[in-house]
Chain A
Amino acid sequence: MKKIYFAFLTFIIAPLVFSSCSDFLDEPLRDRIEQKDQAAISAEQLVNGIYAQFTSWEYAFAYIGITEIISDNADKGSSETDTGTDKHLLDALGYTSSNESVLSMWTKWYKSVGHASNAIQFTTNANIGDEAYKNRLIGEAKFLRALNYFFLVRGWGDVPIQEIDITTRRPKEEVYAYIEKDLLDAIAVLPEKYTSKDLGRATKGAAAGLLSKVYLYQQKWQQSYDYASQVINSGNYSLESDYAVLWRATSENGPESLFEFQARGDAPALGVQQYSQTQGATGETGWGWGFNTPTQKLLDAFNAESDAIRRDGTIIFSNSTLYDGRVVGSTTNPRYNLKAYSSANAGADNTDKNIRYLRLGEIYLIRAEAANELGKASEAFNDLKMVRDRVKLTTTTSQTKDALRKAIWHERRLELAFEHDRWFDIIRTGEAKAAMAADGKNFIVGKHELFPIPYLQILQTPGMTQNPGWS
């Protein structure tokens, strides 16, 4: 009996004696790799992470909403009842401070700025022997930070500079100065070209090109002219001879390209998520959701100019055959965005489409505009002619400064249609009221120039002021 007694107690007590509790509770992670066991994060990875933001879903749907659908170039598209959450409100200029797309991009751009700042700080402190490589990484991050701030300042005017204070809006002049500094720093350290494996990273040309555009927005004509010239004269870029191929897979990272959002269509695919799907045609022969469709007004503008090349390089028409042989039959909407069309991946989640962010064609137009303002009419004419010659259009000589300015602005509309620039252009040039009215939309001067600060942001940081006209 005693034996059992002891055996039993041992049975109970043994596990207590032989197991140390904290060891027992120190359960190793198996579902993810702990920070300490991961290969150390490299500076380059953090920089890559900033670029990766371009592939996110926001750039497919919210982005087209607040850069294109909102403008006179594009309609919401899709079916009457498919609002795309808030795209109908953007299309009708009926959006408010609770607009989802506005909040999405506001957030995306600030987070991207944050990723860039983190990468800059990390890289600066990192022990990297190759000084040129280190500076290049910092330069890339600064270029990307400037790119994101440029979206913010164009969209909202005075905005917080995250590195200074996330709750207080800074005058837009200060924000522009911040962007200029980042880009100048980037120009100083970025290479003109990369070896093949790094193709797609920010170059000196991309930074200079962007800077010329940043100056253009501030009407700093001389600087704008200078940096546009720097790009054009660098010898690294030339216009694609055929406008039609500009947005095709074949011309990705081509001679005209300054900067693109990179996408891979083959498995494992990694493209801008659903960019081609959201804008793909709908209906019997469709392959997408059918959003962001070219307006009748845009079509009229192409036709008025007899600009068949750019028209057919921009618009998919129903009952037509595309360059790759795809037969488009009856569709829900009469027109779709060809620049978003992916031949290989059609309506798949991951597009193979590189989104052209900045290309030489626009740099010519920037320089033309700056030159015209600087009184260099003939240079302006020549730059404009470069762009028009490619699409077999004649260019009127001896225009007045004012007429030439208008011509350049109009050229921008046709050349850069659906390249996510139209809305900011018409606000910049002051043409918005008239342009939107022509499209049947009521643009309220003093209000619609800027997006509203998202009300959820104001809920978080109640001290932040709202833009005029918005509540």
Chain B
Amino acid sequence: MRFKLKTFFSQKKNDSLLSKSLMLLVCLLLVSTFSMYAQTKSISGTITDETKEPLIGVTVRVKGTTVGTVSDFDGKYTISANAGDVLEYSFVGMTSQAITVGSQTTIDIVLKDDAVLLNEMVVIGYGVQKKADLTGSIGSVNAEAIMKQPALNPMQSVQGRIAGVSITNNDAPGASPTVVIRGLGTALGGRDPLYIVDGFPVDNIQNISPADIVSMDILKDASSASIYGLRAANGVILITTKQGQEGSSKIGVESFVGVKTIARRVKMANASQYVNYFNEDVLATNPNSTKLLRPGSEQNYDTDWYDELLKTGFFTNNTVSLSGGSKPVDYFLSFNYYNEKGLLEGQRYDRSTIRNNNTYKFFDDRLKFMQNLNITFTNDRPKGFGNFNTAYRQSPLVPVMFPNGKYGTAIWNTGTGLAGYDKTSPTDEIANLNTHGNPVFQVDNQNELNKTLTLQGGLEAEFKVTDYLKVNTRLGVTRYYEDGRNFTNIRRAWLAADVTRTDAEYDAKREQESKSAQWANNSLLLTDIDDFRWTWEGFATFNKTFDKHNVQAVLGTSRERMNIRSTSRVTVYDVPAQEQYWSRRFASTEIPPLVDQYYETARALASYFGRVQYNFDSKYYFSGTVRRDGSSTFRSNGEYWGTFPSVGLGWTISQEEFLKDNSFIDHLKLKATWGILGNQNIPSNANAILTSSVRGDGFNSNYIFGPDQVINSGAIFGSPAQDLTWEKTREAGFGVDFSFLNQRLSGSVDYYDKLNRNAIILTTPIYTSVASQDYYLHAGQISNKGVEIMLTWQDKFANGISYQVSANYSYNKNKLKGVNPGLDGLTGGSLGNGEITKRFVSGQPVFSWWLYETDGVWQTQEEIDANPHLSGAKPGHLKYKDTDGNGVIDDRDREYFGSYMPTSNFGINITVGYKDFDVSLYGYGVAGNKVYNGLKSARFGGENIAADTYNDRWTGVNSTNSHPGANKDKKPSNYYLEDGSFFRLNNMTLGYTLNDKLFKGSKLRVYTTVQNLFVITGYSGFSPELAGNGNPRDMSGIELDAYPTTRNFLLGFNLQF
């Protein structure tokens, strides 16, 4: 969270250049002014830190004048001053010094480390501010933290570091983490925070190389975020990328390589166990059945599907950057290449990023042009996550390959009781063990490649009108191209599904139905997406101090147009087998292609915004923001505009006379905020009258008439479209920032109360009514209340060991409320077997678990007959509670069982530095959530189970009351629901820095990192960290087709010269 690099390099100076350089620019903009007046005397000197390393970019100013300069690459400076003038030396993160000029012409300065966070600058949106001057809650992460937790996506590096920012990782190659700031505040509107990169809003930050980032600042509270008004309800993440800096040319190289393995693995039942389980199931249905599997010892195969499926992932990351600057131009140029092989065979992702950030300076920096350019190429070869699910369920009796060279399938001979296709007598019958495929084949047969190109650029002009007024204008654009192809070998899949199938049979089918896509050899889906967005902003910043009154004000306007998007999808058939010919041209002319092309409706936003920040003597703070936003989303009713005000108040008690001399308290500040935020990323509502194309609209309104079976167009009445407007979230909060004991202990405590006052929900019209489609309406409120605590202790021992321990904790309570009866009740969390697990009910967290409550296991038929039971219940099945006491077991007996959303998130970060060594340990955890082990629940029978489940199963009367037997029903119940709490050792790093060892002026740090060395959890599946796609209605919190958490070992180095 510090802007300044600290413990990363044991001797800080050049390495923190990039951050410092940015701060230098900021200082130049906000503080320094320059003048051309002649002076009487030239004073020069060298500025170093306590370790005698030169400091670059230190502001040197003659007090009370506009005369100033900055130190150069060697820490040297020259300034003209009169004897008796006071020279002020200031640098962010260092304690400022003032020296009165006497007769000397050389003044060397040693600046002391400020050691605290208070002077750090944070980016607040249309400006920067000293952390000590904030009235809102902003969490910051610097380049060091990002570099120490190497990842593809920079948000992954933030996990566990900022209270109130909940990040759920996904370890799949190319995947983005799910980010929720201060609780999920919407059910159906956009859930993602707003990302702003160098002032420009972007859709996502997947195209940004973490090595290019100098800081990430997360605006958590309403008073901070409301400067982004309409889109700020989910929080705002501001990302600043690196800049070059005048006077220093640098080359940096950052590289790491690593391997990924699955962090936790479930031990599955082996062949013998499976056989017992399978037979018990058969006998439970038909006690006289003779169609049983032979014991495991007689079976031919004992496949561990995870052994077969899981590979060791491998990833590399290399970054080269050049930066520097001269009087007219500063430049930063970097190239990054990231490459990853996933846990599944052939699963690959690579990304190349080129970034160029230049600043062009005119008229002694009064006019500047800042240009950013980011070009990103990605290549993604995905593999279905469903294979992790299939590997769990597929029987160990099935081989990867049969001896005849065909892929193994789940078949067995009911005569011999052996798995496989062999028949020994004519009466032998081949039957299926289950309905699952061969995951190894499925991985092998998936052939998908998606390429993307993202061009992102911005141009900003900044003009200093006077020393207290500057004007900025900027234009940013993002163009995104996606070119995907998905090749499906239909013939191969057909042949692999059944060993008895032959090519000749397939050919015969083809012959019969030559124009049918069903019997094509293969299909090729070609996807093209082209997306464009642009932003223009203009704003003026006023910054002046009148005696003890400090005023900063911003006034601006912006225009934005996005989602200018076209999508084209073409499916063709029968292309040649060789990849080089996979195009539409070489496809079958017999089978008509499926073609779809469409444009999306763009979204336009227009805004006016203003902010005033005032403080009196750095004691009393006021900040007020108003933003007026218009969004084209609300075109249907013409109510484009909304106004979003906010207020922040602060009182720095430690500045008061009565505390000023207190040796215990260094800094103590009380803050209070209030504001209204908006969400315009809402679903579009239905038309009243609906017509369908041929299937694909989720309904059909057309019908066939006549002997020629002509499709006649039809129309139906949908539901009356409701006018939708912004979701408005009111947030109030207060907090305290503190620093004690000579700044060794610092931290903050915040409380917030957020209420989405007009949440949009999807509701089902009354069943007996005319309205036939679910429709959206504003009908509820979503509340998030929470506490955030951050604490840091840092100190140095006499022997030179420096250390820092920081911990953060956040608690959030999420609740849907105020929905009229009958309007809520939407269900979700489908398990893919016809069962659902979640429901959207007023008074509960958004989409909470809604399950049957188990009450042990049925032991005997008599017990079943004597009690309310599910139809078809058998001894060994789970017993469900008749919670409504009406004598039958059905959906009305389902109960609320908590939420998949954690109430607590916590992180602990420890860093220790000694001489040239640095060690760090980062841990992250959550608590208060429940996760559903969907893998454990049956789908269609004959499936494998975990060895633990096997060992504990019900086997007969009074064997157990806690686990069902082999024959069980599929009802979703709390039996599958488990505590989702976990603690992960996110990162353990040992680094060693060599200065000047390689060659003079070089700095080399080598390190090794282990990510997720261990995970502490009671969860019985693979990973309790289950973001799904982030949609609360979908798979969030359900383990089914989820990518498991990985354990990563890295080796890397950073070199700078």
Contact = CB atoms under 8 A, between A and B. Distances in A.
A266 to B, nearest CB: 7
A403 interface: no
B871 A85 contact: no
Contacts of B701: 45, 48-49, 52
A8 B559 contact: no
Interface in B895-950: 938-942
A8 B706 contact: no
B787 to A, nearest CB: 36
A166 B707 contact: no
A263 B706 CA distance: 11
A27 interface: yes
A96 interface: yes
B461 A8 contact: yes
A4 B498 CA distance: 77
Interface in B717-753: 717
A115 B886 CA distance: 37
B825 A79 contact: no
Interface string B581-605: 0000000000010000011111111
A97 B890 contact: yes
B694 A270 contact: yes
Given A12-B473, A115-B716, A162-B770, A29 B825 contact: no
A166 B768 CA distance: 6
Given A15-B536, A31-B601, A98-B890, A48 B703 contact: yes
Contact of B471 (A12, A19, A35, A49): A12
A175 to B, nearest CB: 13
A66 to B, nearest CB: 15
A391 B632 CA distance: 68
Given A12-B471, A30-B600, A114-B772, A79 B705 contact: no
Contacts of A155: none
Contacts of B939: 81
Interface stretch (A207-215, A227-235, A421-429, A452-460): A452-460
**Most chain B beta-carbon neighbours within 10 Å: one of A38, A96, A283:** A96
Given A35-B688, A94-B871, A21 B606 contact: yes
B632 A26 contact: yes
B538 interface: yes
Given A85-B834, A197-B706, A264-B704, A166 B769 contact: yes
A89 B888 CA distance: 12
Nearest to B591: A267
Contacts of A21: 606, 630, 640
Contact of B871 (A41, A88, A196): A88
Interface string B553-577: 0000101010000000000000000
B711 interface: yes
Given A11-B461, A48-B715, A471-B888, A79 B702 contact: no
Contact of B825 (A166, A200, A201, A459): A459
Nearest to B969: A83
A284 B431 contact: yes
B854 to A, nearest CB: 18
Interface stretch (A105-113, A217-225, A238-246, A302-310): A105-113
A31 B692 CA distance: 14
Contact of A52 (B557, B716, B770, B942): B716
Contact of B768 (A5, A117, A160): A160
**Most chain A beta-carbon neighbours within 10 Å: one of B598, B630, B834, B939:** B834
Contact of B941 (A31, A52, A53, A79): A79
A29 B601 CA distance: 5
B777 to A, nearest CB: 15
Contacts of A264: 704, 709, 711
Contacts of B870: 94
A25 B632 contact: yes
A29 B602 CA distance: 8
B454 to A, nearest CB: 22
B964 to A, nearest CB: 13
A125 interface: no
A415 B834 CA distance: 34
B602 A30 contact: yes
Nearest to A117: B770
A46 interface: yes
**Most chain A beta-carbon neighbours within 10 Å: one of B631, B640, B716:** B716
Interface in B859-895: 870-872, 886-888, 890-892
Given A9-B471, A45-B714, A162-B769, A55 B700 contact: yes
B402 interface: no
A115 B772 contact: yes
Contacts of B461: 8, 11
A115 B717 contact: yes
Contact of A200 (B473, B635, B704, B872): B704
A4 B706 CA distance: 75
Interface in B622-642: 630-632, 635, 640
A82 interface: yes
Contact of A460 (B600, B767, B771): B767
Contacts of A462: 821
Interface string B668-699: 00000000000000000001110110110001
A270 B871 contact: no
A167 B872 CA distance: 34
Contact of A24 (B465, B592, B604): B604
Contacts of B429: 330
A461 B538 contact: no
Contacts of B768: 110, 160, 162, 166-167, 457, 461
A22 interface: yes
A5 B463 contact: yes
A30 B704 CA distance: 29
A69 B632 CA distance: 51
A471 B887 CA distance: 9
B713 interface: yes
A51 interface: yes
A227 to B, nearest CB: 25
Interface in B441-482: 461, 463, 465, 471, 473
Contact of B707 (A1, A117, A253): A253
A32 B687 contact: yes
Interface in A112-145: 114-115, 117-118
B711 A270 contact: yes
B536 A263 contact: no
Contacts of A454: 767
A278 interface: no
Contacts of A283: 431-432
A84 interface: yes
Interface string A438-452: 000000000000000
Contact of A198 (B706, B769, B772, B892): B706
Give the top 6 A-B pairs by smallest Cβ distance, nearest first. A94-B871, A48-B714, A81-B941, A114-B770, A27-B632, A98-B891
13 contacts: A8-B461, A8-B473, A12-B538, A22-B630, A24-B559, A27-B604, A35-B688, A49-B716, A94-B871, A96-B891, A284-B432, A457-B767, A459-B825
Interface of B: 285, 362-363, 367, 429-432, 461, 463, 465, 471, 473, 498, 517-518, 536, 538, 557, 559, 561, 592, 598-606, 630-632, 635, 640, 687-689, 691-692, 694-695, 699-717, 766-772, 821-822, 825, 834-835, 870-872, 886-888, 890-892, 938-942, 969-970
Interface of A: 1, 4-5, 8-9, 11-13, 15-16, 19, 21-22, 24-32, 35, 38, 41, 44-56, 79-85, 88-89, 92-99, 103, 106-107, 110-111, 114-115, 117-118, 160, 162, 166-167, 196-201, 253, 262-264, 266-268, 270, 273, 283-284, 330, 348, 350, 454-457, 459-462, 471
Given A95-B871, A284-B498, A459-B825, 14 more contacts: A4-B463, A9-B471, A25-B604, A31-B598, A32-B687, A41-B715, A45-B691, A46-B717, A52-B700, A88-B872, A118-B717, A167-B768, A330-B429, A461-B768
